[in-house]
Amino acid sequence: MLSFELDLNCLAIYFIDVILPIPIQKTFTYSVTKEEADFLKTGMRVAVSFGKSKMYSALVLNIHQTAPTLYEAKEIHQILDESPIVTEKQLKHWQWISSYYMCSLGDVYRAAVPSAFLLESETIIYRNESFTDIDILTDEEYLIYEALQRQSQLTLHEIAEVLDRKKVLPIINRLIEKSVLYVKEEIYETYKPKLVKYVRLHKDYQSDESLQELLSKLSRAKKQRDVVLTFFQLKTEKKPIKAKTLSEKSGVSAQIIKALVDKEVFEFYHIQTDRVQFKGDENPLKNLNEYQVKALDEIEESFKEHDITLLHGVTSSGKTEVYTKFIKKVLETGQQVLFLLPEIALTTQIIKRLQNYFGNQISVFHSKYSVNERVEVWNNVLNNKVKAQIILGARSTIFLPFSNLGLIIVDEEHEVSYKQFEPSPRYNARDAAVVLGKLHKAKILLGSATPSIETKFNATQNKYGLVHLNRRHGNVQMPKIELIDIKQKRRKKEMVGHFSDRLIQLMNEVLEEKKQIILFQNRRGFSPIVECTTCGHSPQCPNCDVSLTYHKYNNQLKCHYCHYQRAMPNSCGACGNSTLDTKGFGTEQIELELKELFPNHNIGRMDSDTTKGKFGYQKIIESFESQEIDILVGTQMLSKGLDFNNVLLVGILSADTMLNYPDFRAHERAFQLMVQVSGRAGRSQKQGMVAIQTYNPYHQILQQVSTNSYGEMYAEQLQDRWQYHYPPYYRLIKITLKHRDYTKVNEGINWLARALQNVFFENVLGPTAPAVSRVRNQYIKNLMIKIPPKQSLAKTKEHLQKIKTTFEAVKEFRPIRFIVDIDAY
Ligand code: ADP
Ligand code: ZN
């Protein structure tokens, strides 16, 4: 018996190491046959079972002949791809991300590929309600479709039972491609299936003489004859004929066409049309102005020495126009361009501008796109299709399978949204893009009017090249910034609600001129705090350690952390008096005040409450562009690269909350935010105006904003960072523990603090509780490791990993979530 088993083992001499899409540090080894080994390549997917009965789509990392020593390799279920869906370069990039950000390759795999590539036995599948085209389904596919009519959702496991077989992933893949199904993550956006149905003659009738034959065959079915006649008419145009067109032109219902298909006169077929299409002509690039020409030359010069160059250009200096010149050049060499934007939804404008120049060479990668759309972009990039020469998207776009990248542009490189905080991998897309660029030997252009301190530092240290663009296009002057002291205004009773008389005056002047206004308030909702004036109690979220925010339009209290919501109570939950009052203010309240102050003008609001859905932003941006809206009030979304040419005034209603935020970057951020919002004013012809209301007009950051002194802000912040040991001098690793049990978290964090202090001494900060110390019923505690300039980051992480492993070996600590965040800012 024993020798027989040994023999079997000898036969199985081919193995593959795979990445499983789960947060497990290691890769796993499976056995394959010789034929499978010959067929498989790194970057293809295989279905494997793992654990008791779970099935996963695993990714092949390498193929070899070394059996694992610790366990017996299982066989794979089947191969899922014909050719690799992930490139070797990508895998190198993933490996860097996994090692730099201390996360598993599985985490990266999961984040990197569209969820449709990750089907597993527990994946929940839904029916696409708008799919009706059952003719295109095979019998087996139809069984699944039918099962989903009876039950609105099924796991792959259940589907395997329906079909009475194990290997269901390929068929599910096909159904997703045909838009029959979608997977759970996709429910926020229903989409129209884009498989257009075409009609052609059945193969028996494809000769030209067949018309006569058909007409006589159908002599008694008048409508069917009409269809055939119309078909032959349309056929002369030598274009594929849509079933819909045929039915419209011949004036018959779809059923009649279907009947002809059943009679085997016609047959249906499909052409995969790409969902994201640009309609229109390409236009020539704009001629650069003299300053832009100079910047362009300097960037080119800089690229000779530095692969990475920072374009520090003031708002509205025309950075985008400069980018386009580089894009064009790179396209001419046949290479791909990656254009990163902080938030895709906000940048429909840039997309439009680039499409104007580059038409169908652009693909957009959008987290709000359906899974099918994302798969399409993925495949187009992988196959280096014409339409995937320029890829535009937010942070996750760095994960696409580029084969031939020549240029990466990171627009608004200072933006926080490049950093992913949750879930793992907690990467910064700007930094990961730099590494990606190096792998491809591509050039990297970082652009901003307010560069992050760390990037500016890299540039001044000559690590990056640095090019300035100090003039607005058309020589429009930078906006004039006025600070309004609202403490004084309150005392003198010169405030109406949250508006100073001065701001109202400016607004009236601007509206008189038929110009537009943007108002910035960094909080959404009506009022962030509800408080009882009798006992001081304010309603709290039951799941999080935070007060609920009042939303007036539906009279609800909402938690902005966990989305809990309840009706606004009539009386105080603590003392019972009906003396609940609201404190502080958000965008919704401003909108209401505006309606009273300016009853004859149209007010719009842009925050995450009003921009839900795929086209939410676009609608608001378009109605502001077309000047249906006179005054637009919104949150920091307004600061991200919008270009309106009729805005003359920007008002910041309250600068103070931004300045008092407990974070080492608060001042840098406040500066960036205010300069960027201000930058929306006066972008064409006339100098814009900015009014900033504040209780502290002498705050140094406000002074620097009002004089547009980036350099001063930079120098001062840098000094603080040096003095208090923060980036860019020191590096930061943040460790977070989370658990439902407060004592457990506390014990865990204290143990961890001691263990870390033994190694890193005074460079361990904390433990501390964050400002909101409980979210979704999980208690949170943090520690921070500061890494001095000369200490090795790699060594530090090694130590940390050891301590983490020990921590996780302690039984009581095992259930605690342990989160490591490298460069946690
Ligand atoms: P930035 O990205 O630096 O904020 P933009 O590229 O958005 O600036 O340019 C601001 C505005 O000026 C845009 O409307 C743009 O079309 C216009 N513009 C910039 N450069 C030129 C140019 N060379 N010719 C014509 N218009 C330009
Ligand atoms: Zn909550």
219: left (phi > 0), else alpha (psi -120 to 50), else beta? alpha
Residue 212 has pLDDT above 90, yes or no: no
CA distance 193 to 275: 9
Residues 416 and 561 in one domain: no
Q: Starting at the earlier edge strand, list the strands of the sheet with 336-340.
A: 362-365, 390-393, 336-340, 405-411, 443-448, 308-313, 465-469
CA torsion 811-814-816-818 (nearest 10°) is 130
Question: Is 469 a member of any domain?
Answer: no
Residue from 320, 325, 341, 640 whose mutation best tests the ligand 1 pocket (most atoms within 8 A of CB):
320
Residue 780 CA, ligand 2 centroid: distance in Å: 13
Q: Cβ(639) to ligand 1 under 6 A?
A: no
Q: What's the CA angle centered on 506, arms 503 and 512, to 5 degrees?
A: 140
Q: Cβ(535) to ligand 1 under 6 A?
A: no
Q: Cβ(640) to ligand 1 under 6 A?
A: no
Residues 112 and 125 in one domain: no
Residues 664 and 739 in one domain: no
CA distance 816 to 252: 65
pLDDT band at 280 (very low <50, low <70, confident <90, very high): low
Q: Cβ(682) to ligand 1 under 6 A?
A: no
Q: Cβ(643) to ligand 1 under 6 A?
A: yes
Residues 740 and 778 in one domain: yes
CA distance 90 to 518: 42
CA distance 253 to 247: 6
CA distance 604 to 643: 17
| pLDDT in the model for residue 278 | 52
Residue 222 CA, ligand 1 centroid: distance in Å: 61
* Nearest ligand, measured from the Cα of 562: 2
Q: Cβ(452) to ligand 1 under 6 A?
A: no
Look at 797 and 248; give whichever has higher pLDDT: 797
Tell me how many domains the chain contains: 7
Q: Cβ(312) to ligand 1 under 6 A?
A: no
Question: Is 593 a member of any domain?
Answer: no
Q: Cβ(472) to ligand 1 under 6 A?
A: no
Residue 218 CA, ligand 1 centroid: distance in Å: 63
Instruction: Please give the number of the atom of ligand 1 that sits closest to the Cα of 321.
Output: 6
Indicate if the alpha-carbon torsion angle 589, 592, 594, 596 is positive or negative: negative
In three-state secondary structure terms, 45 is strand
In which residue are the tokens 């996750």 written?
396
Q: Cβ(313) to ligand 1 under 6 A?
A: yes
Residues 706 and 764 in one domain: no
Nearest one of 685, 643, 645, 678 to 352, comparing CA atoms: 643
Question: Is 325 a member of any domain?
Answer: yes
Query: What are residue 557's phi and psi, to 5 degrees?
Result: -105, 130
Residue 814 is part of a domain; what is its CATH number? 3.30.70.600
Q: Cβ(473) to ligand 1 under 6 A?
A: yes
pLDDT band at 158 (very low <50, low <70, confident <90, very high): confident
Q: Cβ(315) to ligand 1 under 6 A?
A: yes
Residue 680 CA, ligand 1 centroid: distance in Å: 12
pLDDT band at 584 (very low <50, low <70, confident <90, very high): confident
Residue 160 has pLDDT above 50, yes or no: yes
In three-state secondary structure terms, 765 is strand
pLDDT band at 614 (very low <50, low <70, confident <90, very high): low
* Beta-carbon neighbours within 5 Å of ion ligand 2: 541, 543-544, 559, 561-562, 564
- Mean pLDDT over each residue of the chain, to the nearest integer: 88
Minimum mean pLDDT among 10-14, 73-77, 717-721: which range?
10-14
| pLDDT in the model for residue 457 | 98
Pairing of strands 78-79, 45-50: antiparallel
Question: Is 468 a member of any domain?
Answer: no
Query: What are residue 406's phi and psi, to 5 degrees?
Result: -110, -20
Q: Cβ(316) to ligand 1 under 6 A?
A: yes
pLDDT band at 136 (very low <50, low <70, confident <90, very high): confident
Q: Cβ(289) to ligand 1 under 6 A?
A: yes
Instruction: Please give the number of the atom of ligand 1 that sits closest to the Cα of 313.
Output: 3
Q: Cβ(380) to ligand 1 under 6 A?
A: no
pLDDT band at 716 (very low <50, low <70, confident <90, very high): very high
Residue 387 CA, ligand 2 centroid: distance in Å: 43
Nearest one of 470, 481, 494, 542 to 681, comparing CA atoms: 481
* Nearest ligand, measured from the Cα of 778: 2
Minimum mean pLDDT among 61-70, 140-149, 232-241: which range?
232-241
The enclosing H or E element of 183 equals strand 181-183
Nearest one of 429, 462, 467 to 447, comparing CA atoms: 467
| pLDDT in the model for residue 194 | 47
Minimum mean pLDDT among 45-49, 168-172, 603-607, 678-682: which range?
168-172
pLDDT band at 186 (very low <50, low <70, confident <90, very high): very low
| pLDDT in the model for residue 730 | 96
Residues 494 and 429 in one domain: no
* Nearest ligand, measured from the Cα of 559: 2
Q: Cβ(321) to ligand 1 under 6 A?
A: yes
Instruction: Please give the number of the atom of ligand 1 that sits closest to the Cα of 287.
Output: 23
Q: Cβ(319) to ligand 1 under 6 A?
A: yes
Minimum mean pLDDT among 113-127, 428-442, 594-608: which range?
113-127
pLDDT in tens, 505-562: 999 999 999 999 999 998 877 777 788 888 888 888 888 888 888 888 888 999 888 8
CA 646 to chain centroid, in Å, comes to 29
* Nearest ligand, measured from the Cα of 546: 2
pLDDT in tens, 30-80: 999 999 999 999 999 998 988 877 888 999 999 999 999 989 999 998 888
Instruction: Please give the number of the atom of ligand 1 that sits closest to the Cα of 317.
Output: 3
In three-state secondary structure terms, 127 is strand
User: Last residue of a domain, which of 720, 749, 777?
Assistant: 720
Residues 435 and 338 in one domain: yes
Residue 77 is part of a domain; what is its CATH number? 3.40.1440.60
Q: Provide the domain limits for residue 175.
A: 121-187
Q: How far is CA 288 from CA 291, 320, 555, 644, in A?
A: 8, 11, 52, 20
Q: Cβ(678) to ligand 1 under 6 A?
A: no
Task: Give the N- to C-terminal CA distance of the chain in Å, as an integer.
Answer: 60
CA distance 728 to 458: 9
Q: Cβ(347) to ligand 1 under 6 A?
A: no
- Give the pLDDT mean for 121-136: 80
Residues 509 and 648 in one domain: yes
Alpha-helical segments (H) within 583-741: 587-597, 616-625, 656-659, 666-678, 700-706, 710-723
Residue 179 is part of a domain; what is its CATH number? 1.10.10
User: Last residue of a domain, which of 87, 117, 147?
Assistant: 117
Question: Is 617 a member of any domain?
Answer: yes
* Nearest ligand, measured from the Cα of 412: 1
In which residue are the tokens 């109202």 written?
504
Residues 297 and 373 in one domain: yes
User: Last residue of a domain, which of 159, 187, 215?
Assistant: 187
Residue 607 CA, ligand 2 centroid: distance in Å: 19
pTM for the complete prediction?
0.82
520 forms bridges with which residues in the sheet?
634, 652
Q: How far is CA 155 from CA 233, 301, 318, 513, 662, in A?
A: 47, 56, 51, 60, 45
Residue 430 near residue 340 (C-beta atoms within 8 A): yes
Residue 683 CA, ligand 1 centroid: distance in Å: 8
Residue 691 is part of a domain; what is its CATH number? 3.40.50.300
Hey, what amino acid is at 263?
K
* Nearest ligand, measured from the Cα of 563: 2
Buried b (16+ CB within 10 A) or exposed e, 429-466: bbbbbbbbbeebebbbbbbbbbbbbbbbbbbeeeebbb
Residues 156 and 72 in one domain: no
60 forms bridges with which residues in the sheet?
18
CA distance 392 to 323: 13
Residue 334 CA, ligand 1 centroid: distance in Å: 26
Question: Is 27 a member of any domain?
Answer: yes
CA distance 186 to 375: 13
Residue 648 CA, ligand 1 centroid: distance in Å: 16
| pLDDT in the model for residue 735 | 97
Question: Is 53 a member of any domain?
Answer: yes
Residues 32 and 177 in one domain: no
Instruction: Please give the number of the atom of ligand 1 that sits closest to the Cα of 679.
Output: 4
pLDDT band at 765 (very low <50, low <70, confident <90, very high): very high
Question: Is 555 a member of any domain?
Answer: yes
Residues 560 and 668 in one domain: no
